Amino acid sequence: MITAPPIVEKPKNYLNVQSTLKSWLLTYDHKRIGILYLIAVTFFFAVGGFFAAMIRLELATPAGDLVESNVYNKLFTMHGIVMVFLFLIPSIPAVLGNFLLPLMIGAKDVAFPRLNLLSWYVYMTGGLFITYVLLTGGVDTGWTFYTPFSTSYSNGYVIAAGLGIFIAGFSSILTGLNFIVTIHRMRAPGLTWFRLPLFVWAHYATSMIQVLGTPVIAVTLFLLVLERGFHIGFFDPAYGGDPVLFQHLFWFYSHPAVYIMILPSMGVVTEIVSTFSSKKPYGYTFIAFSSIAIAVFGFLVWGHHLFVASQSVYAGMVFSILSYIVAIPSAIKVFNWTATMYKGSVRVTTPMLYAFGFIGLFTVGGLTGLFLSSMGMDVHLTDTYFVVAHFHYVMVGGAIMGFLGGIHYWWPKMTGKMYPDGWSKISAIIVFLGFNLTFFPQFLLGYMGMPRRYHVYPAEFQVLNVLSSAGASILALGYLIPFIYLFWSLKYGEDAGPNPWGSPGLEWQTSSPPPPDNFEVTPVVTEEAYTYKKQEVVQVG
């Protein structure tokens, strides 16, 4: 007997429950706020990328023929400010952290949903200030705003830029505050600390840094603005001020800030490596504690940015040793990811490709950081392209690969759609190749002495610079392709189902996209984390 198929109404999820613009702009739902952040950071990534393109175009030839030096100064400054404060710092926590944290701990939302929405508006306000700076002529001090150039001599919009970053910093503080309280008090029944996914541990450590470090740069920028406005002399030697004090205050935050950028990425990689090895992360406790160790030790090393700034040599020695020590927890993680894959059932999916890329490139970036931590070597390498290559390896090869991997891994959860597998794998490989072609030559250039922040260079450096610029265009292509197919997938992608990757995480136990309150029934956790079901063993013969 043929019965008519039942008419199934599309289930309500967080995307279709309301679709007015107002419902998005006044949402308290952490998932929607994550999407709002995704749109915003993608926009600013494109802006920062535009400046990168201009830089690499100029550097394709030794002469300063594309732009003048003061314009070039503005290009690398804006590239740095936009990429660091408007993209890297918020990216994973504000997008993936916001979306996933409550899901991963079985909660309905973060602890303070209204504060969460406020953090997005505060971020947008900071972004607005910086966009204003961009449109009215830019700032040329470098993203580091060193004094007394920034306070007394620069002709750019230093005050507006400083205020923009000050405001954006509060967004970061609010996110961190929210996550700390959420993780402490909103966990589902049975979810003890050591049953938490390592992504959550990574975000807890990140939130510690956001909460403890960001206020210091806030007050530093406040002093900078006061000095520039009223010529007080905090940082101007002419009035008895100390420019190195600015650097201490600036780097007290900005060094831990790099751990804000990398720790969430490490959390993403742990999740991806575990799922696609079908294995519990090796050394769960080590990974968890190493995240906290990175957060704490990360606050003790900022003086390695001041080795040649006339900081006391004795202080320098202590910072140098501590900088070596801070590499250890990161190395522990690399070991643990590798050990997780060993004898695991490895599936090479797109997120896994990004994770592989992360592990290799972050290792190179991290090791080259050790070169720079040695005071003697730093005297030669500082302010050269070696430093530029080092931090791009960790921030782009590390943090951004992690971000892309995370987007690709959780895209089915966030949108309910799958993206085309072939294109996604190809673009991951293009990103990897383009990245290495762009930045590896820069290690060589730096070692040979090419200084950073110069738009002209001696002719003998041209070949490596051209390779780097060529790599940049390939990298740009690698970033553009996902943008296209991810959009495409929203309309034409296959429906994903709740758990396309077969992961045991709590976020995969609800529908894709999740319902507005995340779970139909509050989950009760009875198993340890990463409990993969054993595959049935098929006896042959």
Q: Are 259 and 209 in contact (CB under 8 A)?
A: yes
Distance CA 196, CA 429 (A): 32
To the nearest whole angstrom, how small is the minimum distance from the Cβ of residue 116 to another protein? 11
To the nearest whole angstrom, how small is the minimum distance from the Cβ of residue 536 to another protein? 39
List residues near another protein by CB under 8 A.
Answer: 107-113, 115, 173, 177-178, 180-181, 184-186, 211-216, 218-220, 222-223, 226, 230-234, 239-242, 244-245, 248-249, 252, 299-300, 303, 306, 310-315, 318
Mapping DSSP to helix (H, G, I), strand (E, B) and coil, where does residue 451 land? Answer: strand
Q: Which is nearer to another protein, 169 or 406 (CB)?
A: 169
To the nearest whole angstrom, how small is the minimum distance from the Cβ of residue 318 to another protein? 7
Instruction: Quote the Cα angle for 270-511-187, to 5°.
Output: 55
Q: Which is nearer to another protein, 161 or 221 (CB)?
A: 221
To the nearest whole angstrom, how small is the minimum distance from the Cβ of residue 78 to another protein? 25
Distance CA 241, CA 256 (A): 25
Nearest CA among 49, 135, 137 for reference residue 86: 49
Q: Which is nearer to another protein, 220 or 436 (CB)?
A: 220
Distance CA 287, CA 198 (A): 7
Q: Which is nearer to another protein, 5 or 240 (CB)?
A: 240
Q: Which is nearer to another protein, 78 or 196 (CB)?
A: 196
Structure tokens at 21: 């613009």
C-alpha distances out from residue 359 to 58, 336, 339, Å: 31, 11, 12
To the nearest whole angstrom, how small is the minimum distance from the Cβ of residue 270 to another protein? 25
Structure tokens at 289: 């504690």
To the nearest whole angstrom, how small is the minimum distance from the Cβ of residue 147 to another protein? 12
Q: CA 202, 173, 175, 428: dihedral to nearest 10 degrees?
A: -60
To the nearest whole angstrom, how small is the minimum distance from the Cβ of residue 39 to another protein? 24
Q: Which is nearer to another protein, 106 or 197 (CB)?
A: 106
To the nearest whole angstrom, how small is the minimum distance from the Cβ of residue 347 to another protein? 35
Q: Which is nearer to another protein, 71 or 181 (CB)?
A: 181
Find the helix or strand (DSSP H, E) in which 479 lies.
helix 462-492
Q: Which is nearer to another protein, 229 or 458 (CB)?
A: 229
Exposure b/e, 220-254, CB count within 10 A at least 16 = b? bbebbbebbeeeebbbbeeeebebbebbbbbbbbb
Exposure b/e, 12-45, CB count within 10 A at least 16 = b? ebbbeeeeeeeebeebebbbbbbbbbbebbbebb
